[in-house]
A and B are shown apart, each in its own frame.
Chain A
Amino acid sequence: MQLNRVVITGMGAVSPFGAGVAELLSGLYQNRSAVRYCPEMTAIKGLRSLVAAKVPASVLEIAGKQVARKYRRSMSPMSIYAVLAAAEAMQQAGVGAKECESGRLGVIVGSTLASTVTTEDFFNDFARDHSLERMKTSLFFKIMNHTCAANIAQTFSIKGRILAPAAACATGSQSIGYGYEMIATGHQEMLLCGGADEYHPLTSATFDVMHAASIAYNDDPQHTPRPFSAQRDGMVCGEGSGLLLLESLPSALKRGASILGEVVGFATLTDSGNIANPDSKIMVECMNLALNNAHINAVQVGYINAHATATEQGDIAESHAIATVFSDQTPVSSLKGHLGHTLAASGALETIATIDMQHTGHIVPTLHLTEIDSRCAPLNYVREVASSVELSGNKPIDYALKNSFALGGVNTSLVLRRYSSD
């Protein structure tokens, strides 16, 4: 079976740095932290982690209002983020009403949960008198699991396939991977792929209760989370949406679209040893499968964008897995220090950044990595104060690998190639 090459022709982002890919990249390249102290969370009993990387409120107040009420009524913030990201990706790709109506474009966008904010609002009201008489028609459309994908499709009248993977922190990467496979096998020509999530304290509490959330930096939020660092104390939750428009190479060439990058490998598998604790050996297996899928060797990979959320178990396991598969010269960094963990959006937002890094050759370092945890494997950790060996020398990076590993035992690895026509 002849497989299509799968390229990226559009990217869209809503991140804790604001709306747009430019805002995302600017925050990353300037090594800014989007993490903030959230004083309102002091009112929540038992929550120790009071920091988060939220999307600026102005995004909903200004950009969100550009979405017509007819469509916005069925959206919680995560769907608004996703629709804004979709609009940006489609505009960059030059995809409009013709492609949306054609059935050749589909949507694969998931989230960790549907809208917890909406669910909380509903049950707060319901608990008053157990009455459903105040329930509005839009409730279901905000709390259904495919809320982001469905709202994107409705807003732009997209007629192709629709899918909403739910794999927590691996959702965005799984969406891209499944989109890559569907386009490679010819089932769809174009797919908007990625993930979205909206912040709710429940997310921080989920990690807090497992002793995996950052709790020691409430007074110093700009210095947490700290992936791979000896001073790390856990992850910081964030929100946003990242979407990539994947397209078959023949379709992109026929349309004359600018090609931003290429997806050449994908693997996803289950770590069924423990629902919460990652197994380094399964991570190794996932990365090797992705390399095999891409038909490349580990030495060809010029950069690894790690999942590394700044949890002790995750960072150490991933570092040893990377050390098993790759040489200690391959540059590695995590973007969680800048963005926090944007959960279902993270795989896609970090893939967008990785694709840009492949072009510029400028690797965004891991923030706050002053002292590497001695229990992490020796790797070429790219840090803010970088030695020559830690940088790629600003040369374009032909191949990059993006990891995402989720609670529930969902592992994914993507292999991305800097596009060239040969």
Chain B
Amino acid sequence: MTEQEIITTVNAALVEEFELDATDMQPELSIYQDLGLDSLDTVDMVIVLEGTFNFKIREEAEIKKIRTLGDIHAFVQRKLSAEA
């Protein structure tokens, strides 16, 4: 999966789950302040990403450091690369 394919897949999954504006998925956006997610949403976000990419990430410490959409893209890329 290319970097752009990962970004597109992540964005599509989050747009559907959290009813976000697909045209406004800029990597610098804060998932909390800009996208309006809260602690319950971030738990569900992990479940959605696990389902989308068929990996397990809920126990990973890095998850707690995610602040922006770009952080998610980078995290998923690292995880997929490590598993490749």
Q: Is there contact, CB below 8 Å, between A137 and B50? A: no
Q: Is the CB of A128 closer than 8 A to any CB of chain B?
A: no
Q: Within the complex, what minimum Cβ distance (angstroms) separates B55 from chain A?
A: 11
Chain B, range 1-57, C-beta contacts under 8 Å to A? 18-19, 36, 38, 40-41, 43-44, 47, 50-51, 56
* Chain A 124-139 interface mask (CB, 8 Å, partner B; 1/0): 0000000001111110
* Chain A 271-298 interface mask (CB, 8 Å, partner B; 1/0): 0000000000000000000000000000
Given contacts A69-B18, A69-B19, are A134 and B51 in contact (CB under 8 A)?
yes
Q: Is there contact, CB below 8 Å, between A133 and B50? A: yes
Q: Is the CB of A254 closer than 8 A to any CB of chain B?
A: no
Contact of A137 among B19, B36, B43, B56 (CB under 8 A): B43
Interchain CA distance A137-B18 in the complex, whole Å:
13
Contact of B47 among A70, A73, A136 (CB under 8 A): A136
Interchain CA distance A363-B9 in the complex, whole Å:
58
Interchain CA distance A65-B45 in the complex, whole Å:
21
Q: Size band of the A side of the interface?
A: under 10
Q: Is there contact, CB below 8 Å, between A138 and B40? A: yes
Q: Within the complex, what minimum Cβ distance (angstroms) separates A154 from chain B?
A: 12
Interchain CA distance A69-B47 in the complex, whole Å:
18
B50 surroundings in chain A (CB, below 8 A): 133
Interchain CA distance A69-B40 in the complex, whole Å:
12
Q: Is there contact, CB below 8 Å, between B44 and A138? A: yes
Q: Is there contact, CB below 8 Å, between B51 and A137? A: no
Interchain CA distance A138-B40 in the complex, whole Å:
8
Which residue of chain A has the shortest Cβ distance to B50 in the bound complex? A133
Q: Within the complex, what minimum Cβ distance (angstroms) separates A65 from chain B?
A: 9
Q: Is there contact, CB below 8 Å, between B51 and A136? A: no
A135 surroundings in chain B (CB, below 8 A): 47
Can you name 13 extra interface pairs (CB under 8 A) apart from A69-B19, A133-B47, A133-B50? A70-B36, A70-B38, A73-B40, A73-B41, A133-B56, A134-B51, A135-B47, A136-B44, A136-B47, A137-B40, A137-B43, A137-B44, A138-B40
10 contacts between A and B (CB under 8 A): A69-B18, A70-B36, A70-B38, A73-B40, A133-B50, A134-B51, A136-B44, A137-B40, A137-B44, A138-B40
B interface, CB within 8 angstroms of A = 18-19, 36, 38, 40-41, 43-44, 47, 50-51, 56
A interface, CB within 8 angstroms of B = 69-70, 73, 133-138
Considering the complex of A and B, which 7 residue pairs feature the smallest CB-CB distances, nearest first?
Answer: A137-B40, A136-B44, A69-B19, A137-B43, A137-B44, A136-B47, A134-B47
